[in-house]
Structure 1
Amino acid sequence: MASFTPLQRLVIAVAVLASFVTFLDGTVVTVALPAISRELGGGITTQQWAVDAYLITLSALILLAGSVSDAYGRVTVMRIGLIAFGIASVAVAASFTPLVLVIARAAQGAAGALLVPSSLALITAVMRGEVQSRAIGVWTAFTTAAQLVGPLLGGLFVDLLSWRFVFLINVLPIAVNLILLSRLHLPEPARGTRVDWLSGALCALGLGGVVYALIEQPHLGWASPAIIGTGVGGAALVVVFLLRQRRPQPLLPLSLFGVRNFAWGNLSTLFVYAALSLNGFVIGVYLQQGAGLKATQAGLASLPITILMILLSSRAGRWSGRYGPRLFMTAGPLIMAAGALLLLTVSESFDYWWQVLPAMIVFGLGLALTVAPLTSAILGSIDESRSGIASAVNNAVSRVAGLLVVAMLSTIVGGRLDLAGFHDAARVTAALMAVGGIVSWLGIRRPVPERAPEAAER
C-alpha cells in the first residue's frame, strides 16, 4: 500500500479487518457443518439453518445498519459491531442444541450487519477515483481471501480440536481492530438522518418467513399450513417493506437504482453471489460426506482460489479503474461458469487432482477478475454522502442471494447431497454465473460518479 497516505492505509486496514471477521465467519462454518450435525443432530436441515440464520439477520439488517452508519458515524457503529460480534461468537461456540446454535448465529449476523457497510463506507469517504479503485481492490483481496481461507481454518479446528473453536477464530482480529479504531480520528458530525426501525423489522421478518418455508417444505410439504402461512406471510411483509420505501428518508432509497451501474451491478451481484454461496456450501459438505475427505482436506480444496485472489484481485481493481469494469465483470463470471462445469468430472472414483483442482484454478481466476471491479463499479457510481447506504444495499443483495440459494438447496440437489446432487448444484452454479456475466455486459458502463435524485434533493 505504498501509494496510499498514512490515513488511507489505516482506513484500509480497519476496513479489511472489520469485514474479515464477517466474511470469515460466513464461510468457515461450511466445513464444520457435518461435525455440527453429528453432535447436535438434525441432518441437512441443521446445516442449512446454521448458514441461513446468520444470513437472514445479516442481509435483512445490513440496510438498517447502513442508515445507522450514515446517521451516527461509521467508526462508532463499527466499534459497537465488533464488540457484539465477539460476544455472539462465544455464544455460538457454547451452543448445546440446534435451537441455541441457530439463535446465536442469528445474533452473530445482526452484529455483522454493522460492520460491512461501515467498512466500505470508510474507504469511499476517504478515497475517490482510481485511488478508491485500488483501495477496494486491496479490500477485496483480503476479505475475499477470508471467505476462501475460512474452510481451511475451519477444517483444521474441526479435525484437531472441535467445531466449537471454529467460531472463536475471529477473536484476535476483533481485538486488533478495536485498537486500530482507537487511532482513527475522522470528522463524523451527526447528520440527523432518521433511522427507519420499522422497515428493518419488516425486512427481517419477511425474509425469515420466506426462508423458513423454503428450508422446511421438504419435511412438511407445500400444503402444510405452517409452510403456507410463513411463506405467504413473509412474502407479504417483504412487499410491505418495499412499498414503505416510497416514504421520505427510506431505509432502501429506491432512487439509487436510477443510477445505471448501481442497478445493473446489483442485478449481476444477485446471480454471482448466489452461485458463490451454492458452490461454497456444496463443496464444503460433499467433499466430506460424499468423497470421504477430512475437514482439513475439504478446506484445502479451495486453497488455489485463495492464492489467485491474493495475487490478482488488487491488480484487477487497478485495471478496472483504468479500463472500466465491464470487460472484467463479464469475463470473470463466464470463466467461473466454466470452472463450475469442470466439477461435472467428479465421479464415484474420486480424484482431487484431476477432478477438482482444475475447476478450482479456473474458478479462482474468474473470481479474481470479478469481485473488485464489481464492487468498484457499484460504489464508484454513487455520491460519497450516500456511500454507507449504497454499500449496505450491495452487501444486502449479495447476502440475500446466498440466503435464498442455500434455503433452496434441498430442491436443487433433489433432497440428498450425493454425487447426482453435487452435479446438479454444479450445473445451477454455472447457469447463475453465466447470467451474471451477461447482465454485466448488457448493463455496465465506465462509472461516472452520480448523485442519486433523492440525495440531490437533500
Structure 2
Amino acid sequence: MTDDGQPTSDEQAGDRKLLSLSEPAGKRLLATTVLGSGMGFLDGTVANVALPHIGDDLHADLAGLQWVVNGYTLSLASLILVGGSLGDRLGRKRVYAWGIAGFAVASVLVAIGPTIETVVLARVLQGVFAALMTPGSLAMLQASFRPEDRMRAIGAWTGTLGIATAAGPVMGGWLVGIDWRIAFWINVPLAAIVLWLLKPAPESRDEDDVYRFDWWAVVLAPVTLAGITWALTAWPDTGPSATTVGALVVGILAGVAFVLFELREPHPMLPPAIFASRDFSVINIVTLFVYAALSGSMLFLAIFLQVSAGWSPLEAGAATVPVSIIMFFLASRFGAVATKFGARTPMVAGSAVLTVGFAWLALAPDGPSYVGQILPGVILMGLGLSMLVAPLTGTVLAAVPDEESGLASGINNAVSRTAGLLAVAVLPLLVGLSGTAYRDPAAVGDAYRASMWWCAALVAVGGILTAVALRSPASEAQPATTEG
C-alpha cells in the first residue's frame, strides 16, 4: 500500500504473478523482447550499410537515400506514443505481437520494392508496425518482473541486444554484398521465432485507464516531423525555395498546434503531467542529444568506410561489431551499478568516454587503418554506451508509475527516434553533403570528419546536462533488496 492507502501497481496486478529473472519464464520473456527489439536494431544497421548499393541499384540521389532511413524513423517517431498507449490499454503482449507480424510483412515489401519511391513507402510501413512493437518490449519487462529484478532485466535486455546488433553489421554486410534485398528477408524467420516465444508470456495492461483516441495528436505529430524533416532534407539541393520554406513553416505550426491541443485534451496522447518528474524530463533531453549523435555517426561511418576507404559492405558492417560485444558484457553491469548508486555517475562517465570516441573517429584519414584509427574509437563508443544506455532507460521507467510504463517507454523511444530523424536530415546540411556527392570519396571523407565532431559536441552537451540537472546519487539510488 502507498502512504495514502492506495494499492501499489504490484498489488493492482492481482493474481498475475511477477516473474524473476532467474526462472525459465522470466528468461523466455527476456529472450522474446530481445529478439523482437533486435529486429528493429538489425534492420536499422542493414539499412545504413545498404544505402550505397540501394542508391546504385535504384539510381537514387542522397535525398532519396536519406528518406530510406527517415521514412522509417518518421512513422516510428510519430506513432510510437500511440503504440505505447495502445499497449497500456489493450494489452502489451497483444500489441507487441501485432507489431512483430506487421513488421515482417513490411520487410518483405521493402525487399521486393522496384523503385526508390516504393522502397521508401515500404519503410514508412515498417515504421508504423515498429511503433507497435518497440515500446512493448520494455513495457513488458517493467510490468512483468519483480521490482528488484527490473533494472537487471533492462540491463540484460540492453546487453543481450548486442548479439542482434553485432550480427546485424556482419550478416547484413555479407548479405548486402550479395544483394541488398536479401538483407531485409531475414526479418521473416526472426518474426516467426518471436511470435512462438511470445505465446506463454503474461499479458499486462492498465486496467484503470479510460481509453479515448487522441486524433489531433495522431495527425499533428506526423505533420510536424514530416514538414521539418522534408525541409531540412531538401534544403541542401533546393535552398530556401517556396516549397522548402513552406514545408518548414507547416511543420513548425503543426508542432505549436500539437502542444496547444495536448494541453487542452482531457486524455492526451502525450500527457503534460508526465513531465512533472524532473528526472523524466532531463533524461529525455539527454536522450535527444545522445541518440542524435549515435544515429548520425553510424550513418556517416557506414558510408565513409565504403565510399572513402573503399571497404566492402561486410568489412564496413563488421567494423562496429566491438560496440555490440562490449555492450553485451558490460551494459547489465552498469545497470546494476545504477540501481545501487544512482544513474548520474555512470551516465556522466559514459558521456565523456563516448565524446572521446567520436573525437578519435573524427581524426581518421580517407584511407584509415582499422586497428589504429577506427578500432580505438569504436571501443570507446562501446564502453561509453554501456555506461549510458541501461541507466538512462532504467531511470526513464523508474520515474513514472508502473501502469504508465508503456507510455514512458513510448515517449523515450519517440525522443530517440526523433533525434535520429533530425540527425539524418540535419547533418548532411551542416557538413555540406548533397545530391550525388555521396559517391565522391573526398567529399564523403570531409563530411564524415565534420559530422563526427558534431556528434562529439552533442554527447558532451548531454553529459553536462546530466551532471547539472539529474538528481544526486543519494536521492535517486534505490535501496538494495535481499531475500531470505
Under TM normalisation by the shorter chain, which class is it? over 0.9
Residue in 1 aligned with 2:356? 338
Residue in 1 aligned with 2:481? none
Aligned to 1:95, what secondary structure does the other structure show?
coil
For the aligned residue pairs, the C-alpha RMSD in angstroms reads 1.9
Aligned-pair distance for 1:148? 4.9
- Whether the aligned pair in 1 keeps the contact of 2:353 and 2:383 (CA below 8 Å) is yes
Aligned-pair distance for 1:346? 1.1
**Residue number among 180, 186, 198 corresponding to 2:197 in the alignment:** 180
Moved more, 4-13 or 47-56: 4-13
- Whether the aligned pair in 2 keeps the contact of 1:380 and 1:449 (CA below 8 Å) is no
Aligned-pair distance for 1:54? 0.4
CA 1:359/1:379 → structure 2, altered by over 3 Å: closer, same or farther?
A: same
Task: For 1:391, give the aligned amino acid.
Answer: S
CA 1:185/1:358 → structure 2, altered by over 3 Å: closer, same or farther?
A: closer
Residue in 2 aligned with 1:30? 48
Paired with 2:426 and 2:204, the residues of 1 have a C-alpha distance of: 44
CA 1:250/1:144 → structure 2, altered by over 3 Å: closer, same or farther?
A: farther
Correspondences of 1:309-324 after superposition (within 5 Å): 309-324=327-342
CA 1:71/1:188 → structure 2, altered by over 3 Å: closer, same or farther?
A: closer
Aligned-pair distance for 1:27? 2.1
1:436 matches 2:476: no
Moved more, 305-314 or 125-134: 125-134
**Residue number among 42, 63, 88 corresponding to 2:60 in the alignment:** 42
Aligned-pair distance for 1:270? 0.5
CA 1:270/1:118 → structure 2, altered by over 3 Å: closer, same or farther?
A: same
Moved more, 267-276 or 13-22: 13-22
Moved more, 141-150 or 32-41: 141-150
Kindly name which structure, 1 or 2, has the bigger radius of gyration based on alpha carbons: 2
Cα shift readout 1:322-361 (whole Å, capped 9, x = no counterpart): 1111111111011010011111331134211111011111
Q: Identity of paired residues, percent?
A: 39
Cα shift readout 1:87-114 (whole Å, capped 9, x = no counterpart): 1000000011111011000000010000
**Residue number among 446, 464, 476 corresponding to 1:420 in the alignment:** 446
Paired with 1:189 and 1:363, the residues of 2 have a C-alpha distance of: 37
**Residue number among 266, 269, 287 corresponding to 2:287 in the alignment:** 269
Q: Which ranges in structure 2 are unaligned for 5 or more consecutive residues?
A: 1-18, 438-442, 479-484
Paired with 1:326 and 1:132, the residues of 2 have a C-alpha distance of: 18
Paired with 1:410 and 1:186, the residues of 2 have a C-alpha distance of: 43
Residue in 1 aligned with 2:427? 409
Correspondences of 1:367-386 after superposition (within 5 Å): 367-386=385-404
Correspondences of 1:300-315 after superposition (within 5 Å): 300-315=318-333
**Residue number among 156, 167, 171 corresponding to 1:153 in the alignment:** 171
**Residue number among 184, 195, 200 corresponding to 1:167 in the alignment:** 184
Residue in 2 aligned with 1:220? 238
Cα shift readout 1:256-279 (whole Å, capped 9, x = no counterpart): 111111111101100000000011
Scaled by the length of structure 2, the TM-score of the pair is 0.89
1:110 matches 2:136: no
Aligned-pair distance for 1:147? 3.8
Task: For 2:390, give the aligned amino acid.
Answer: A
Residues paired across the two proteins, number: 448
Aligned to 1:193, what secondary structure does the other structure show?
coil
CA 1:187/1:302 → structure 2, altered by over 3 Å: closer, same or farther?
A: closer
Aligned to 1:185, what secondary structure does the other structure show?
coil
Residue in 1 aligned with 2:73? 55
Aligned to 2:181, what secondary structure does the other structure show?
helix
- Whether the aligned pair in 2 keeps the contact of 1:155 and 1:299 (CA below 8 Å) is yes
CA 1:327/1:381 → structure 2, altered by over 3 Å: closer, same or farther?
A: same
Paired with 1:387 and 1:379, the residues of 2 have a C-alpha distance of: 6
Paired with 1:3 and 1:118, the residues of 2 have a C-alpha distance of: 18
Task: For 2:224, give the aligned amino acid.
Answer: G
Moved more, 353-362 or 164-173: 164-173
Aligned-pair distance for 1:436? 1.1
Moved more, 162-171 or 288-297: 162-171
Aligned-pair distance for 1:2? 8.5
Paired with 2:202 and 2:394, the residues of 1 have a C-alpha distance of: 25
- Whether the aligned pair in 2 keeps the contact of 1:130 and 1:322 (CA below 8 Å) is no
Scaled by the length of structure 1, the TM-score of the pair is 0.94
Paired with 1:186 and 1:67, the residues of 2 have a C-alpha distance of: 15
Task: For 1:437, give the aligned amino acid.
Answer: G
Task: For 1:229, give the aligned amino acid.
Answer: G
Q: Which ranges in structure 1 are unaligned for 5 or more consecutive residues?
A: 451-458
Paired with 2:93 and 2:451, the residues of 1 have a C-alpha distance of: 40
Correspondences of 1:359-374 after superposition (within 5 Å): 359-374=377-392
